[in-house]
């Protein structure tokens, strides 16, 4: 007896650290600067051209002509230059569709340095060691990278399982390569786990309705009550960061207005960026580990529909109508941004779908003010940020405020107040064979 075997086509990315020589770093920097300058040239040409004459063909011709006339454009491979053009047009499509703002000029300092490699066959990836692999980068040569995930290369690569391209990205810790991987895997069976409601907070990062709270063990505030924006750094790193910030402020005091900063000042800023990037990596790593564990444990995860942009708006106000508690609101906004609630929900969305579960969103109003035991909203029940004590004489339930909100989130879902499920799309292909077991 044969059954239909459901396979789904998945596309995901994998980022690896590159080990470059000083010469290779200079070549990749030149390519990134050329790609940024090409973007700016396309943007200027687009804005100066009348609307009736704007077309992809016209922009492509101008790009080809520029590569012939400008010598330093030649350091950028032709396919990478075409990728810049396609990315620019996609940015305008996202703007027209209401998914993003209009494309803008890319400054040298504030923009992220990146180069696209749209063709996967140009990479020629090979594993040479248990921890290292080698990839070919056009106009740069063979480069080693950290092998931390099995990639479909060599005999393991086929039409359905392969690397379709990559992007080179530079941050404060150096150059990295982000592979675009396409694979065909069995569709997961429905998850048999239970239901859980999650409330994202500041004192308790992720509070679960069943009491299995997820805490990264790093207090959001210092002993004096101010927000700790460097909580992902150890004491030695915090002390080093303080010294670097003091040194940068001292060196900046000697700079005259509109003068370019010294090399020593830029070097100090680079060291500060490295520490900040290291803290960000630790936070993202904790989010990945935590969301993966939640997706494997629970079949249905319910979260709040939060408008984080409005939650972190400044309370400063205007000159005529100044705000109140500006410093406290600023610290709260900083703590909310550090927890990156939106990134957590994004990770849960695709990880629950990968493990056969579902993620639902419910309305957020009054979830932290309503008692999860009696269902009443009684004034004064919320005592501070961490404690909830129901003032209803017939109830009197008390506990952690975030735990109370998580129970309310799950109760809203069970009462049928869930919004549209946040499920990812998948390309399904059916073949005949034995029905696979659940991939978890």
DSSP character string of 57-97: HHHHHHHHHHHHH-GGGGGS-HHHHHHHHHHHHHHHHHHHT
- Choose from 260-264, 329-333, 425-429 the range with maximum mean pLDDT: 260-264
Our measurement of the distance from residue 188's CA atom to the centroid of its chain's CA atoms, rounded to an integer in Å, reads 25
170-217, pLDDT tens digit by residue? 999 999 999 999 998 888 888 888 999 998 888 888 989 888 888 888
DSSP H/E element including 362: strand 358-363
Compute the distance between CA of residue 301 and CA of residue 191 in angstroms, rounded to an integer.
Answer: 11
Burial of 166 (0-12, 13-18, 19+ CB in 10 A): buried
Q: Which of 126, 130, 174 is nearest to 21 (CA)?
A: 174
Q: Are residues 73 and 118 in the same domain?
A: yes
State both tokens at 136. 């070919």
Q: What is the pLDDT of residue 379?
A: 81
340-388, pLDDT tens digit by residue? 888 999 999 999 998 999 999 998 888 888 888 888 888 878 777 778 8
Q: Is residue 237 part of a domain?
A: no
377-425, pLDDT tens digit by residue? 888 787 777 788 888 888 888 888 888 889 989 988 888 877 764 444 4
Q: Are residues 391 and 321 in the same domain?
A: yes
Angle of helix 56-69 relative to helix 22-48, nearest 10 degrees, comes to: 130
Q: Are residues 47 and 129 in the same domain?
A: yes
Q: Are residues 208 and 296 in the same domain?
A: yes
Compute the distance between CA of residue 284 and CA of residue 155 in angstroms, rounded to an integer.
Answer: 33
Q: Is residue 317 part of a domain?
A: yes
Q: What is the pLDDT of residue 424?
A: 41
Q: Are residues 176 and 71 in the same domain?
A: yes
Q: Are residues 178 and 90 in the same domain?
A: yes
Angle at 57 between CA 53 and CA 63, to 5 degrees: 105
Q: What is the pLDDT of residue 68?
A: 86
Contacts of 337 (CB under 8 A, 6+ apart): 312
Residues 281-311 as b or e (16 or more Cβ within 10 Å = b): ebbeebbeebbeebbebbbbbbbbeeeeeee
Instruction: Report the 10 Å Cβ neighbour count for 376.
Output: 14
Q: What is the pLDDT of residue 176?
A: 95
Q: Are residues 307 and 413 in the same domain?
A: yes
Q: Are residues 23 and 69 in the same domain?
A: yes
Give the mean pLDDT of 299-312. Answer: 85
User: β-strands 174-186, 195-200: how paired?
Assistant: unpaired
- Note whether 298 and 195 are within 8 A (CB): yes
Q: What is the pLDDT of residue 328?
A: 75
Q: Are residues 217 and 131 in the same domain?
A: no
Q: What is the pLDDT of residue 5?
A: 64
Q: Is residue 439 part of a domain?
A: no
Candidate from 19-23, 70-74, 76-80 with smallest mean pLDDT: 70-74
Tell me which residue range forms the domain holding 19: 3-186
Q: What is the pLDDT of residue 333?
A: 78
Q: What is the pLDDT of residue 319?
A: 66
Alpha-carbon radius of gyration of the chain? 26
At residue 405, the 3 state secondary structure works out as helix
Give the mean pLDDT of 214-228. Answer: 74
CA atoms within 13 A on the CB side of 86: 10
Q: Is residue 252 part of a domain?
A: no
pTM above 0.95, yes or no: no
Last residue of a domain, one of 137, 159, 186: 186
Q: Is residue 95 part of a domain?
A: yes
Candidate from 69-73, 151-155, 204-208, 426-430 with smallest mean pLDDT: 426-430
Q: Which of 422, 198, 416 is nearest to 304 (CA)?
A: 198
Compute the distance between CA of residue 34 and CA of residue 115 in angstroms, rounded to an integer.
Answer: 9
pLDDT at 28 over 90: yes
State what percent of residues in the chain have pLDDT above 70. 91
Q: What is the pLDDT of residue 26?
A: 95
Where does the pLDDT of residue 298 fall: very low under 50, low under 70, confident under 90, or very high at 90 and above? Answer: very high
Last residue of a domain, one of 154, 186, 218: 186
Last residue of a domain, one of 125, 154, 186: 186
- Note whether 439 and 23 are within 8 A (CB): no
Q: Is residue 251 part of a domain?
A: no
- Name the residue with higher pLDDT: 217 or 142: 142
Location of structure tokens 């069976």: 189
Q: Are residues 400 and 350 in the same domain?
A: yes
pLDDT at 438 over 50: no
Q: Is residue 271 part of a domain?
A: no
Q: What is the pLDDT of residue 425?
A: 40
State what percent of residues in the chain have pLDDT above 90. 40
Mean pLDDT of the residues in the chain: 85
Number of domains the chain contains: 2
Q: Is residue 434 part of a domain?
A: no
pLDDT at 271 over 90: yes
Q: Are residues 215 and 302 in the same domain?
A: yes
Q: What is the pLDDT of residue 429?
A: 38
At residue 28, the 3 state secondary structure works out as helix
Q: Are residues 296 and 390 in the same domain?
A: yes
């Amino acid at each position: 007896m044969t059954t239909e075997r459901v396979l789904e086509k998945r596309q995901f990315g994998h980022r690896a650290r590159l080990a470059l020589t000083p010469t290779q770093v200079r070549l990749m920097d030149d390519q990134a600067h050329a790609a940024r300058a090409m973007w700016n040239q396309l943007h200027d040409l687009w804005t100066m051209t009348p609307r009736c004459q704007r077309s992809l063909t016209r922009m492509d011709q101008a790009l080809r002509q520029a590569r012939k006339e400008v010598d330093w454009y030649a350091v950028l491979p032709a396919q990478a230059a075409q990728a810049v053009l396609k990315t620019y047009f996609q940015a305008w499509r996202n703007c027209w569709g209401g998914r993003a703002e209009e494309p803008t000029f890319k400054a040298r300092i504030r923009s992220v340095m990146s180069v696209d490699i749209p063709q996967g066959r140009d990479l020629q990836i090979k594993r040479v060691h248990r921890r290292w692999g080698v990839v070919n980068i056009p106009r740069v040569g063979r480069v080693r990278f950290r092998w931390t995930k099995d990639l479909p290369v060599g005999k393991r690569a086929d039409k359905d399982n392969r690397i379709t391209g990559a992007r080179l990205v530079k941050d404060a810790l150096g150059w990295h390569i982000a592979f675009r991987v396409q694979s065909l895997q069995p569709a997961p069976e429905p998850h048999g786990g239970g239901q859980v409601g999650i409330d994202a907070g500041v004192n308790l990062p992720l509070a679960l309705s069943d009491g299995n709270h997820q805490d990264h063990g790093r207090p959001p505030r210092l002993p004096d009550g101010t927000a700790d924006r460097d909580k992902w750094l150890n004491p030695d790193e915090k002390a080093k960061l303080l010294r670097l910030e003091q040194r940068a402020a001292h060196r900046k005091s000697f700079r005259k207005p509109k003068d370019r900063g010294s090399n020593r000042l830029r070097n100090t800023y680079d060291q500060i960026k490295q520490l900040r990037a290291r803290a960000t990596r630790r936070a993202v790593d904790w989010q990945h580990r935590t969301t993966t564990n939640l997706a494997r444990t629970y079949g249905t995860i319910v979260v709040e529909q939060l408008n984080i942009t409005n939650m972190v708006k400044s309370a400063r106000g205007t000159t005529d109508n100044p705000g109140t508690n500006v410093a406290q609101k600023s610290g709260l906004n900083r703590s909310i941004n550090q927890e990156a609630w939106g990134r957590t929900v994004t990770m849960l969305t695709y990880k629950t779908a990968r493990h056969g579960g579902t993620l639902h969103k419910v309305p957020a109003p009054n979830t932290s003010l309503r008692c999860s035991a009696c269902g009443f909203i009684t004034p004064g029940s919320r005592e501070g940020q961490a404690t909830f004590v129901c003032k209803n004489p017939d109830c009197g339930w008390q506990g952690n405020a975030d735990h109370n909100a998580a129970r309310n989130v799950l109760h809203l879902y069970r009462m049928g107040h869930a919004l549209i499920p946040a499920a990812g799309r998948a390309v399904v292909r059916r073949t005949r064979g034995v029905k696979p077991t659940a991939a978890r």
